[in-house]
Amino acid sequence: MDWLDIREFLLDSIKYIVIIFIIMFVIFYVASITQVVGDSMNPTLKNGEVFILNKMKYRFSEVRRGDIISLQYADTKYLIKRVIGLPGEKVEIKNSQLYINDKQYKEDYLPDDLVYDDFSLKTLGYESIPKDTYLVLGDNRKNSLDSREIGLIKKKDINGKISFRFWPVYRIQFIS
């Protein structure tokens, strides 16, 4: 083996190493793929659907009401939920109607005939949502592990925003 062969091998290796680092950077910091497991987000998201998770979204913008997010729960479990309550807000559910700061809030993504249990932040020990903390709910309010059971979510536990559904193919769409 001569020097030219070794040099060529090293240059080729460096190209592959750089490509691997770029891919790892994208997966860890920019975007990743996530899948819905379970029925807690029905009818909006269905079990088995696959999405692109935008991990950079909340580094440059604030979490907004209605955003569908992935969050870390119990060290190894990830949940997909909708942001309902923002810091400083008072949230309550009475007679299957959502109230934010004592004003009724219409949730267009839910069926009109959906009936689910009452809820108040007071059951979690709060008058209003603390800074850098959010209340999240699943769209299937009857069958969802969400803030009503696990408590409020800290901003640091949000992995990113669900941005694009690419599986199944017939339901491809950007998620706003």
pLDDT (tens digit per residue) in 113-157 = 888 888 999 999 899 999 999 999 999 988 888 899 999 999 989
Please report, for residues 12, 21, 23, 50, the alpha-carbon distance to residue 9 in angstroms, rounded to integers and kept in the order given.
Answer: 5, 18, 21, 39
Select the highest-mean-pLDDT range: 2-16, 34-48, 62-76, 80-94: 80-94
Residues 81, 144, 147, 161: which is the catalytic one?
A: 81
Residues 40, 70, 144, 147: which is the catalytic one?
A: 40
Q: Is 40 a catalytic residue?
A: yes
> 55 CB contacts (<8 Å, ≥6 apart)?
28, 29, 30, 31, 32, 159, 160
**Report field, pTM of the whole predicted structure over 0.95:** no
